[in-house]
Structure 1
Amino acid sequence: MANILILGAGRVGSSVAEQLVHERYSVTLVDENPALLKPLQDRLDLRAVAGNAANPQVLAEAGARDADLLLAVTPGDELNLVACKIAQQLFNVPTRIARIRNQELLAYQSLFSEDGFAVDHVITPAQIVTDYLRRLVDTPEALQVLEFADGLAQMVVVRVEANARMAGQPVAALDDLLPGIDRRVVGIYRRNRHVRPDGATRIEVGDEVFVLAATKHMRAVIRVLHGEERRARRIVIAGGGNVGLRLARALKDDYQVKVIENNRERANWLAEQLPEVLVLAGDATDETLLDTEQIERTDLFLALTSDDEDNIMSGLLAKQMGTRKVIALINRSRYVGLLQGSRIDVAISPAQATIGSLLAFVRQGDIVAVHSLRRGTAEAMEIVAHGSRATSRVVGRRIDELHLPDGVYFAAAVRDGEVIILHGETPIESEDRVIVFCDNKRRIREVEQLFAVKLGFF
């Protein structure tokens, strides 16, 4: 069992720790604040150590000598960098990951080399969440948009509307509605219960459908499952923090963007950074401000402050006043399921959006990407298949020859730049990038074992 050392018990650190404990990894969590550690230690089967993450004695007490992976996600970039260097030089931890928020540091890649701070992988949660939001803005019909194989394939989650052509139709009807376009429905969630899809499964209004296809075909697939929504033009972002700034910068050339920031000094700074964007100093929960800014003409309202209550209230108010669609960041992941699909159209947990980037380094095998779904209960992975029929359980075998665990679906393979939707007669070849959907995280280890290569291969 892998030993994982997590430095920082904030939102990202605690969410990752909880996820890994549920998957039966051995987890040790370090933080200077004992008040953050105690509730996690009481609730989860993990070890907690109170102390400075850059103190060699604290790291030694936390078991750094036996750690397989160190994840430094404290609030301080400098602390994360120093901890990685100590982990390499004093304890020889094989894999070291650091969260870095400062964009200027990221410009100097030599800082992260073995001769520098010895960081194997850098993650920037604010940028991960920004990219996630950008895909949702560009695909207004979707609840989630996940990319695989450098953007060649997408998995999209859509809610079936009453006017959708597939409403009330069996999955097999997609063949008639989408001639010449291959795709794979890998999951249907109906009233929060998973329905295993086959050709005879009828798609009902309100179903959340998980479908995978080549990115170039995804618009056509969405049209028949959901219907096509008008592209957003007017966007209001509530909150000019790291995510709000990054998203406004990403959207400013293609959309009309306004940012509402309640800190006047920060608002003035944002106005300097974003000359093409209208920045308003004010409270996004102020009904008078929203009315003055004609919120009823807004296509998309994004509540992106660091305060859950403000995001919920501003989102609900904007929707009540006529905004077409609302997306809100909700840090307390338990709230996400309660809110999504109500007046808040899409609720996003930043920790859940980020966790997939971390899980890719924890998983066994050649994992290219991991995406956490359904608030962490399901997962989609992109795995490179290695070996031959003699050394691998999947290579050289047709899909219908594989003994897949219940709830595991091989959806597609990317081979020589082409997206191949997998059917029963399709064989897996060595070096295929296989996209796997798993509706139950307890099956992940079995998926990893399927792709394991026998020692004889080497």
Structure 2
Amino acid sequence: MKIIIAGDGKVGATLTRQLTSEGYDVTVIDSKLSPLESSVERYDVISVQGNCASMDILRQAGVRDADLLIAATGADEVNLLCCTTAHAMNPRLHTIARVRNPEYTEQIYKMRETFGLSMLINPENQAATEIDRLLKYPGFLRRDTFAQGRTEIVELRVDAKSKLCDVRLADMQKIIRCKVLVCAVLRGGQAVTPGGDFVLQAGDRLFITALSENLTTLLKNLGILSRQARRVMLCGGGRVSYYLAAKLLKAGIGCVIIDNSAARCKELCTLLPGAEIILGDASDQDLLDSEGLSQCDALVTLTGLDELNMIVSLYGISQGVPQVITKLGHADKGSIVSSLALGSVVCPKELCCSNIVRYVRAMQNQTGAALSVHTIADGQIEAMEFLADENTKYCGVPLKDIRMKSSVRVVSISHGAATEIANGDSVYQQGDTIIVVTNSGVILRQLNDIFA
């Protein structure tokens, strides 16, 4: 499959890395030479320098022979024009555009055919949705939802005071008193698939498969506060803050937004009349204290600087804020981030890239393609959702009797509205939804790829 990526910024570079690792034929377009040279040096790609919305540049990139174009430049208008032009040059081309300005949302959905769009992505809105979900269950560092909301993979950190510290996984059931499956543990920056004799230690990050209905029970029996936030402080007044604040206010949750731009604060006052907008520096300790940081139920750091977000989050944790969520624009700080207690970490570019990769895999194999793809454990593990169809092997056979690839594990099976955490005696039938986890280096384009 031939893919053109227009824009070699953070999203474009992440997509280039992921898609080239899966063997796709990738051509990258950017107006600047420096990022293109870096991509050519690191990956097996073709580069074209120029304006991606130009017919001449698109022609040089081979748009007439391409299967998919992803427009991810920093300008919404350029992305839309790029997709429209490319689709006119190649009507069978699939196109994906990144559009971040909320003013365009309604008209784009109404004019998708006019723009020639197959898919629209908004990293900031996706990040706000993810943060909103985390605020509803303060005990979890991360939540990934499958099977139409019936199953989730949640992340928990084990600290020295945790009920799970020094506990064997085989004995975990006695503490949590609900059925779950620990599908991965991140220890010392390395993801492992644990067995029953695995002993949990302080600092471990657990990735637990559980039915959505059991999440409250899980937190309660671990002694983790799960009361929903009533007042949230947002540091940074960018697009993620806007989308998130709108969701919080709609749910009746009070929010304070701190931003250092007077013009942006005035704009936010107009857009979000129910929010408290503060003009100031989010790194100013006196300002944070005077605005009642220690009395907030949650702190979300959303400035454009990763380092600033980390520092403010660490201060919030030191002041006893029950829930802290940190936005990071760069995901290549894995070992550093995992060693810091930053609360939940959300990366907008990773969220949108996961959705695009799922779309690409579905194009590659329309039958049996993954319904959803989530990357967990600092990118080392993938959790994927499949639908068993008439081509799926071993329907009705217990999992213990099926030879699967060593790196693959079935964690959940949904039979219509009934969902179970998988065990050796579990079976699946045609029409069931199956969730599997695997090392990120193993590519599963369809359900039958899990078998040895």
Provide the TM-score with structure 2 as the length reference. Answer: 0.90
Q: What does 1:17-32 correspond to in 2, within 5 Å?
A: 17-32=16-31
Q: What does 1:200-349 correspond to in 2, within 5 Å?
A: 200-224=197-221, 227-228=224-225, 231-252=228-249, 253-340=251-338, 342-349=340-347
What is the distance in 2 between the residues matched to 1:178 and 1:206? Answer: 19
Greater displacement, 143-152 / 90-99: 90-99
Q: Which runs of 5+ in 1 are unaligned?
A: 453-458
Greater displacement, 8-17 / 248-257: 248-257
2:370 corresponds to: 367
Q: Which runs of 5+ in 2 are unaligned?
A: none
Instruction: Give the deviation of 1:178 after TM superposition.
Output: 5.1
2:102 corresponds to: 103
**Amino acid in structure 2 at the alignment position of 1:29:** V
Aligned residues: 444
What is the distance in 2 between the residues matched to 1:5 and 1:214? Answer: 39
Q: Secondary structure at the match of 1:227?
A: coil
Aligned residues of 2:369 and 2:447 also touching (Cα < 8 A): no
What is the distance in 2 between the residues matched to 1:331 and 1:236? Answer: 20
Q: Secondary structure at the match of 2:442?
A: helix
Q: Secondary structure at the match of 1:395?
A: coil
Aligned residues of 1:352 and 1:376 also touching (Cα < 8 A): no
What is the distance in 1 between the residues matched to 2:189 and 2:211? Answer: 27
**Amino acid in structure 2 at the alignment position of 1:427:** V
2:386 corresponds to: 383
1:455 corresponds to: none
2:82 corresponds to: 83
Q: What does 1:33-44 correspond to in 2, within 5 Å?
A: 33-44=32-43
Instruction: Give the deviation of 1:128 after TM superposition.
Output: 0.8
What is the distance in 1 between the residues matched to 2:407 and 2:226? Answer: 31
Aligned residues of 1:171 and 1:202 also touching (Cα < 8 A): yes
Q: Secondary structure at the match of 1:360?
A: helix
**Amino acid in structure 1 at the alignment position of 2:287:** L
**Amino acid in structure 1 at the alignment position of 2:393:** R
Which of the residues 141, 146, 149 maps onto 2:144? 146
Aligned residues of 1:394 and 1:451 also touching (Cα < 8 A): no
Q: Secondary structure at the match of 1:442?
A: coil
Q: What does 1:126-165 correspond to in 2, within 5 Å?
A: 126-165=124-163
Greater displacement, 237-246 / 135-144: 135-144
2:416 corresponds to: 416
- For residues 253-310 of structure 1, give each alpha carbon's deviation from its aligned partner in whole angstroms, at most 9, with x where no partner exists: 3433100011111101111222221100111012231232132323322110112233
Greater displacement, 398-407 / 340-349: 340-349
What is the distance in 1 between the residues matched to 2:388 and 2:140? Answer: 30
- For residues 223-263 of structure 1, give each alpha carbon's deviation from its aligned partner in whole angstroms, at most 9, with x where no partner exists: 44573455433321011111011111111234331000111
Instruction: Give the deviation of 1:167 after TM superposition.
Output: 3.1
- For residues 338-391 of structure 1, give each alpha carbon's deviation from its aligned partner in whole angstroms, at most 9, with x where no partner exists: 13452522333221222211111122442211111223222111111211xxx4
Aligned residues of 1:101 and 1:124 also touching (Cα < 8 A): yes
Instruction: Give the deviation of 1:446 after TM superposition.
Output: 7.3
1:399 corresponds to: 399
Aligned residues of 1:379 and 1:441 also touching (Cα < 8 A): yes
What is the distance in 2 between the residues matched to 1:446 and 1:213? Answer: 24
Instruction: Give the deviation of 1:175 after TM superposition.
Output: 3.9
Aligned residues of 1:65 and 1:93 also touching (Cα < 8 A): no
2:349 corresponds to: 351
1:456 corresponds to: none
What is the distance in 2 between the residues matched to 1:227 and 1:260? Answer: 29
What is the distance in 1 between the residues matched to 2:394 and 2:449? Answer: 7
Cα pair distance change 1:395/1:33, threshold 3 Å: farther
Greater displacement, 359-368 / 320-329: 320-329
Q: Secondary structure at the match of 1:194?
A: strand
Cα pair distance change 1:434/1:21, threshold 3 Å: same
Cα pair distance change 1:312/1:164, threshold 3 Å: closer
Q: Secondary structure at the match of 2:44?
A: coil
Provide the TM-score with structure 1 as the length reference. Answer: 0.89
Instruction: Give the deviation of 1:137 after TM superposition.
Output: 1.6
Cα pair distance change 1:296/1:16, threshold 3 Å: same
Greater displacement, 221-230 / 398-407: 221-230
Aligned residues of 2:127 and 2:347 also touching (Cα < 8 A): no
Cα pair distance change 1:40/1:226, threshold 3 Å: farther
Aligned residues of 1:336 and 1:348 also touching (Cα < 8 A): no
**2:426 counterpart of 1:437:** no
Q: Secondary structure at the match of 1:272?
A: helix
**Amino acid in structure 2 at the alignment position of 1:328:** T
Instruction: Give the deviation of 1:142 after TM superposition.
Output: 1.4
Cα pair distance change 1:194/1:338, threshold 3 Å: same
Instruction: Give the deviation of 1:402 after TM superposition.
Output: 2.6
Aligned residues of 1:71 and 1:97 also touching (Cα < 8 A): yes
Which of the residues 170, 173, 185 maps onto 2:171? 173
Greater relative contact order, per chain length (Cα 8 Å cut-off, separation 6+): 2
- Give the share of equivalent positions with the same residue, in percent: 28
Cα pair distance change 1:123/1:153, threshold 3 Å: same
What is the distance in 1 between the residues matched to 2:446 and 2:220? Answer: 32
Q: Secondary structure at the match of 2:201?
A: coil
Cα pair distance change 1:189/1:340, threshold 3 Å: closer
What is the distance in 1 between the residues matched to 2:127 and 2:106? Answer: 20
What is the distance in 1 between the residues matched to 2:166 and 2:136? Answer: 27
2:14 corresponds to: 15
Cα pair distance change 1:178/1:322, threshold 3 Å: closer
